[in-house]
Chains A and B, each alone.
Chain A
Amino acid sequence: MNNFSLPDFKQLRDMSRRADEAAVQQALRTNRPTLNDLAALLSPAAGRRITALAARSAEITRQRFGCAIQIYAPIYVSNYCINRCAYCGFSAGNRIKRRVLDIDEAAREAELLKGRGVNHILLVSGESPERAGVDYFVALAQRLRDHFAAISIEIQPLDEDEYAQLFAAGITSVAVYQETYDRELYPTLHLSGKKRDYDYRLATPQRAAAAGMREVGIGALLGLSDWRAEGMALGMHLAWLRHQFWRTALTVSFPRLQPAAGGFTALQQVGERQLSQLLFALRIFDHDVGLLISTREEARYRDGMLGLGPTRYSAGSCTAPGGYSDEQEATEQFEVDDHRSVDEVCAVIRQRGLEPVRKDWDAGFQMAASA
């Protein structure tokens, strides 16, 4: 299989600025959007029609996903990292308290989340194969798999055979963000470590899908490069993955840069209107993609977006390893902006006439022969 590749980032930027009002109208009308339609939806002209985008996005979301909002929570298992990334609190150069949870400690965190009604968990770590490698996640997944409907990971990129091992151990989905699809900017932010390799990272979603993962999540960290062009790249990546891996469900996350250790300042301002336009554009472009809004965003924004396009919310999150068991623990990856509990978030979802869905998978689907 050939690898996913992108046109020059500048070309994507130009594409996403060209559309006029008529092109936006066309993109809002069509049932089978093309990349040109996506470009129109990301354009400044579409920004002036954001309420129309919201309405179309809401309509599609309701048709395809009904009234369901899936609920998940992350478990940060390690903040060790071999990479130096300019924007990240876990960056190798940062003098922060480091910790990796042992299997018992991680299981305790999981148990706490389960007690709060979380059935879908996302295991998150910094990128340190020595501290938290494949064997660690295999052991952890085998420990947790019978207690949760689904277990996802957001860890260092792996090879295909490693993803296959994790799948067999009970991991259902993989999230890996390119951070920025801007190939020129990328090395100026990823200063050292394996993450410097843009192409290895770019091919990670396809390795995970090829290994049989149920779901693959992609994303760009907003605040690094031009968000419209990132939107084009995300759309192209989605379309390519859909085509190559029709058995794999796809999701997109929309992390915006938040204050973190290291004191990095965003290179681009991405406001709530821009974030919303990006999300609506991708929903209209791909009717079936899962769209995630995490607790990086504040409660007011998350509540406002309910029903308009997102399909999955994290809730009650802590981004420090061990943080559920001990609130003083270690250092967070970034500051969470929605501090409400799982139940509080679910209550608001219900108030909006939507159904918080805590279980939408079953460990029974992929009980491993080896387990």
Chain B
Amino acid sequence: MLTIADKTFTSRLFVGTGKFSSSDIMRQALEASECEMVTVALRRVELDDPGDDIMQAIGGGKFFFLPNTAGARDAVEAVRLARLARAAGGGNWLKLEVTPDPRTLLPDPVETLKAAEELVQDGFVVLPYINADPVLALRLQEVGAAAVMPLGAPIGTNRGLLTRPLLEIIIEQMEVPVVVDAGIGTPSQAAAAMEMGADAVLVNTAIAVAGDPVAMAAAFGQAVIAGRRAYKAGLGAIACRAAASSPQTGLEFLR
């Protein structure tokens, strides 16, 4: 079980809701992935409109709604958007994204830290999206972030765990859960993140733009389970040379 703040989750796969060809396909993909946590850009939804496509598709209590502030240019905007969303019934959980560059959507570490501090004090459960920066992750933990969400590669690139050495440090040192977010392009990469000891992964583009998003969502769901099991089972060390499975000890002479 994954515990973040006061909630527990069976699934360690979070799914994003952008880029899908329809909200119907999105709903089917979410179900096939067996995820519980679903993140939605506040810019895409009208929380106070009961007819909103996306909100309807993820409604019904099956998924836990994690709104995000994608598009916020600085802490002021992110905080304002979060408060408006909470006031409109969006709850107090928040995936904090401060992404001043609309092209790369890379997170601004300075503004993210500022916003996280303010939002935590205001009662939010804050999950900040960050670059794979171990010191920033610690700083965010200190100000009360409920988890950290470091990126594996630039968002939407499907390039996998390019930040692996830094993710390893983050995973090793953090008390709060680590959710690898952005850049994961294949189920094998998701499994690899879980094998490293990530507490969860977040996937969007790789599912939404797959040839068959529903089948791909199921594949990610299984990969995350397999990766987590492998991590729990204790992976063998990686060796540079071949080693026999049934080694001769070279100590046969001993009496």
- Tell me the A residues contacting B by CB distance below 8 Å: 62-68, 149, 214-215, 242, 246-249, 288, 350, 353-355, 357, 359-362, 364-367
Contact = CB atoms under 8 A, between A and B. Distances in A.
19 contacts: A65-B19, A66-B19, A66-B205, A66-B208, A67-B19, A67-B20, A67-B21, A68-B19, A242-B103, A247-B101, A350-B22, A353-B21, A359-B43, A362-B71, A364-B42, A364-B81, A365-B43, A365-B80, A365-B81
Nearest to A353: B21
A365 B101 contact: no
B22 A355 contact: yes
Contact of A149 (B43, B85, B102): B43
B18 A66 contact: yes
Contact of B21 (A214, A354, A364, A366): A354
A357 B44 contact: yes
B19 A362 contact: no
Interface string B141-174: 0000000000000001010000000000000000
Contact of B77 (A62, A64, A366): A366
B27 to A, nearest CB: 13
A66 B100 contact: no
Nearest to B204: A66
Contacts of A288: 102-103
Interface string B4-32: 00000000000000111111000000000
Contacts of B73: 247, 365
A364 B45 contact: no
Contacts of B44: 357, 359-360
Interface in B63-91: 71-73, 77, 80-81, 84-85
Interface residues of B, number: 28
B185 to A, nearest CB: 10
Given A68-B19, A365-B73, A365-B77, 12 more contacts: A64-B156, A66-B205, A67-B19, A149-B43, A246-B100, A350-B22, A353-B22, A355-B21, A359-B45, A365-B43, A365-B71, A367-B80
A365 B21 CA distance: 26
Nearest to A215: B102
B100 A247 contact: yes
Contacts of B100: 246-247
B45 A249 contact: no
Given A364-B84, A366-B77, A62 B42 contact: no
Among A247, A350, A355, A357, which residue has the most Cβ atoms of chain B within 10 A? A355
Nearest to B18: A66
B122 interface: no
Contacts of A366: 77
A5 B46 CA distance: 42
Nearest to A248: B102
A68 B18 contact: yes
Nearest to B23: A355
B209 A62 contact: yes
A214 B101 CA distance: 10
A193 to B, nearest CB: 33
A67 B208 contact: yes
A63 B158 CA distance: 9
A64 B105 CA distance: 11
A360 B43 CA distance: 5
Nearest to A361: B43
A211 to B, nearest CB: 14
A247 B98 CA distance: 12
A361 B77 CA distance: 13
Nearest to A367: B80
Given A353-B21, A355-B20, A365-B71, A249 B42 contact: no
A355 B27 CA distance: 14
Contacts of B205: 63, 66
Contacts of B18: 66, 68
B42 A362 contact: yes
Given A66-B19, A353-B21, A362 B103 contact: no
Among A350, A353, A357, A365, which residue has the most Cβ atoms of chain B within 10 A? A365
A247 B101 CA distance: 5
A359 B208 CA distance: 18
B80 A364 contact: yes
Contacts of A247: 73, 100-102
Contacts of A67: 19-22, 208-209
A350 B25 CA distance: 12
Interface in B168-227: 205, 208-209
A246 B103 contact: yes
A62 B205 CA distance: 10
A65 B156 CA distance: 9
A64 B45 CA distance: 20
B20 to A, nearest CB: 6
A365 B81 CA distance: 6
Contacts of B85: 364
